Every structure is written in structure tokens, then in C-alpha cells.
Structure 1
Amino acid sequence: MTTARTSNARSRRAGRARRGTGDQLRDEILDAAERLLVDRGSVDAVSIRAVAGAVGVTPPSIYLHFTDKEALFFAVCSRRFTRFGSALLAATEGVEGPVEQLYALGRGYVEYGLTHPEHYPVLFSGHVDPTRHVEDVASLPGYQALQLLISVVARGMEEGVLAPGDPAQVAIGLWSTTHGFVSLALTGNTDHLPGIDLRGSADAVLRQAIPGILSAP
């Protein structure tokens, strides 16, 4: 009997040991929270208890890593924006010239949205107010992704290949165009169109938008 109890206790300890700790547990919490957010569609529909249950820990374990639910989902969105920004940066690797980089960023943006349809809404659904968590908005991963686009536009203006203007305003215009295309595609608004090639259509959109900001010959 004692041997059986000892064996059971060891099994329980082994089970607990397999669960992540420290940074690993934090990542597991973020993974679970993001899955639940994608499945349920809003932060309000996801409780800390549900996240804890999905990870296999108690709710107090969540609070060891995040002060409250909003802090948890701010971290979820920030991590997703960091990955999004990395994908955009990778899209420009080896691409020379600001105009070519704008096309590369546009294609990279569309590709990320189309290949991560469940995660794209996490980026832009306004699940949390980021200003509650940082003092400097420029430090936000989402802003850094936008800043990459702004910097390419600014360089194009400095080199004279793009028409003069406010780089931020031009960048937001390009972002809005690309975001609108991805949103239409992901919400099924293009599904009924026969034989549509989404990536080809995205290229057509970029070929219309980017020439409109080029400098006059």
C-alpha cells in the first residue's frame, strides 16, 4: 500500500515537472490565451480560469506572470505584432531600393495575413488599450512594424524617387490599402468571385497604389 502511494506521488510530481516553468510557462500561458482568443473572438469571452485550465495550472499561477487579464492579452498581442514585424523585415531582406522595398513589404504583409488568418485579427481587433501598458507608444511592437514602412517611405522621399510629403501620412495610406485588401479576403468577401487569385490581386492593388506616390518624371 505504501509502495503504491509512493508510486502515485512520484507520478504526480513527474506530471508537474513536465509542465513548463519560468519563461517556458509564460510562453505556454501566452499560447493558450491566444488560442482561446482566436476561438472565442474577444477578450471578454476568455477568463483567467479558462487560460489556466488550458495550460494545466491554477489561476494564481497566471498572476505570477501577468498582473491581470488585460496585461496578459496585451502580451499576447505584443508577441503577435513582434512576429508580424519580423515577417515584414524578412520580406525586405536582400531587396534594394525603397520602391522595391515597398512592393516587398506589401507582398509580405498580404502573405502574413493570408497564411495566418486566425492570428491576423489578433493584431487589429482592438482587444486591449496599449497606452495603459507603456509610456512611450513608439516602443510598441505594432508601432515598430509601422515605423519600418515609414522609414522606407522617408528614404524614398530623401532619394527623390517618391513624391515629397509626410512619410507617416503616406505610410498610413499604403497600410490602409493593404490592410483593407487582407481584411476583405479574410472575411470571405472575395470567396464568391470566380477564379480569383488573391496574391495576384494583391499585386495589382500594389501596382496601383505605389505608382501614385512616385515622384514626377
Structure 2
Amino acid sequence: MVIQPRKRRRAPRGSGDLLRDQILDATTELLLETGHAKAVSIRSVAQRVGVTPPSIYLHFADKDALLDAVCSRYFEKLDEEMQRVAADQPSTIEVLRAQGHAYVNFARRTPELYRLATMGEGRPGSDVDTALNSSAFQHMRAAMEALIAEGVYPPGDATMLALELWTAAHGVAAILISKPYLPWGDVEEFTDRVLRAVCTGQIVSGIIGTDLEPMETIARLKGLADEFADGGKP
């Protein structure tokens, strides 16, 4: 694949942030075009932007730092999408469900970047870790804290609850991206069933308890269903 350099005029003083954004844009474009981080080099990015490789190193220490920055910006965009859909929801539980849908849909629209951002090799303290801990994940955690405060979810560790939802959303996104040919049926409906099970599962656990064996759980749920069917109160 031949990377065509862009003709670029010398940047004026104080335009370092602009060049940094152009570098990130070029790296993102190359990742989308090649489909793999290994196919993207500092030299190819420099050619795409229209600068020399040393100009890249003025902003990023190495290729790993550059890819971290791309992933960090990706998660910022993901968070923006999740917050956009959350603003239209009537309740906190619907916010959580909508955020899960937004996560999966965003990943499916940008599969190459999603693979890099969530399934690439991570390093503690990297920009990617910082983004995960401060943007989309933190908003999920805030929703969990709100549900606990509202009495919808039982008292618990909001971080762990957010990790559970993130795991479910990631699992759906990853399998839909890697195995699109499986008989999923309507993808939106499939996603909703999984997310609904996770979001409401904590509510059910809070009602019947979390220390029951599977058969005890089934028996208790059947008992509650029978009481409601008979017009009684649990």
C-alpha cells in the first residue's frame, strides 16, 4: 500500500496543538484503512500529514504513545455518544441501558479502532487507562451509584457493578464484530436482551438475595410469580 504524503505549508508559531490533532487524525485514518496497528508506522503517519518523522516525535515519544493518544481520543468520542443518548432517558435504569446500547453501536461502527482500544496490549498508566478511568467508565459508575442511592439496586460496590455492565457490553460488541455471520437475528434486539438481563439482574438479586443456590433462586422467583398471579403481595 502506497501512502501518499500531503502537501503541507510550514505551520505558524503556536500551532503545535493543531499539528498534534492532524497527527492523530492521520493515524486514525491509517488504522481504519489498514485495519491493523502493525501496518501503521511513524514514517507513514508523517507522510500522510506532510511532515518529517522528527516532527511526530516532538509530540509523541514513540509509536505506542501515539496509539495510546488515538485510543484516548476514541474513548472521549465514545463517552460523548453515551452521554448524548443518556440525556433523553426518563430514568436512571434506562440511562444505563441506553449507554450500553450506545457503547455497542459505537464499537460496531468503528471496529478497527475498537479492537485497538479495548483488545490491544495495555500498559498501566497509559493514556488509554486514563481515558477508561475518567470518561465512559466513570459515567457508567456514576449511574450505578445513582441506582444504589435510589434504592433500585441493592447496596454494593459501584465500581464492580460498572465493570459487570462494561463486560457485558464489551462481550456483545466484540462477538458481533468478530463473528458477524452467526445467527444473531435482529442485532439491536439481541443487544437489548443481553443488556436488559444485566441491568435488571441486580434488581432481582436485591429482592431475592445473592446467596441462594440456582435452584433456590428459581423456586423463590416462581413463588413470587405465583403470588402476583393470585393477586397477592410478595
**Which residue is equivalent to 1:70?**
64
Change in Cα spacing, 1:178 to 1:23, as seen in structure 2 (3 Å) is same
**One-letter code of the match for 1:142?**
L
- Say whether the 8 Å CA contact 1:74–1:130 is kept in structure 2: no
**Which residue is equivalent to 1:11?**
none
Per-residue deviation, 1:30: 0.8
Change in Cα spacing, 1:103 to 1:19, as seen in structure 2 (3 Å) is same
Counterparts of 1:188-199 in structure 2 under 5 Å? 189-193=179-183, 196-199=185-188
Per-residue deviation, 1:181: 0.7
**Which residue is equivalent to 1:60?**
54
Which blocks of at least 5 consecutive residues in structure 1 are unaligned? 1-14
**Which residue is equivalent to 2:20?**
26
Per-residue deviation, 1:202: 0.5
Which whole-Å CA distance do the structure 2 matches of 1:67 and 1:192 have between them? 42
Which whole-Å CA distance do the structure 2 matches of 1:45 and 1:37 have between them? 8
**Which digits, 9 at most, give the CA deviation of each residue in 1:144-196, with x for residues without a partner?**
21111011011101110112211111111111111101100001x241427x1
- Which secondary structure state, in structure 2, belongs to the residue aligned with residue 119 of structure 1? helix
**Which residue is equivalent to 2:201?**
212
**Which digits, 9 at most, give the CA deviation of each residue in 1:33-71, with x for residues without a partner?**
2233342523x4432112111222111111222222222
- Say whether the 8 Å CA contact 1:110–1:199 is kept in structure 2: no
Per-residue deviation, 1:111: 1.6
Which residue, 106, 109, 115 being the options, matches 1:115?
109
Say yes or no: does 1:35 pair with 2:35. no
TM-score of the superposed pair, with normalisation by structure 2: 0.75
Change in Cα spacing, 1:122 to 1:101, as seen in structure 2 (3 Å) is same
**One-letter code of the match for 1:152?**
A
- Which secondary structure state, in structure 1, belongs to the residue aligned with residue 111 of structure 2? coil
Counterparts of 1:1-217 in structure 2 under 5 Å? 15-17=7-9, 21-38=15-32, 39-42=34-37, 44-132=38-126, 140-144=130-134, 145-187=136-178, 189-193=179-183, 196-214=185-203, 215-216=206-207
Per-residue deviation, 1:203: 0.8
Q: Work out the number of aligned pairs and report it.
A: 196
**Which digits, 9 at most, give the CA deviation of each residue in 1:85-125, with x for residues without a partner?**
11111120132322111111111112212222232213202
TM-score of the superposed pair, with normalisation by structure 1: 0.80
**Which residue is equivalent to 2:230?**
none
What percent identity do the matched residue pairs reach? Answer: 38
Which whole-Å CA distance do the structure 2 matches of 1:33 and 1:183 have between them? 22
- Say whether the 8 Å CA contact 1:82–1:142 is kept in structure 2: no
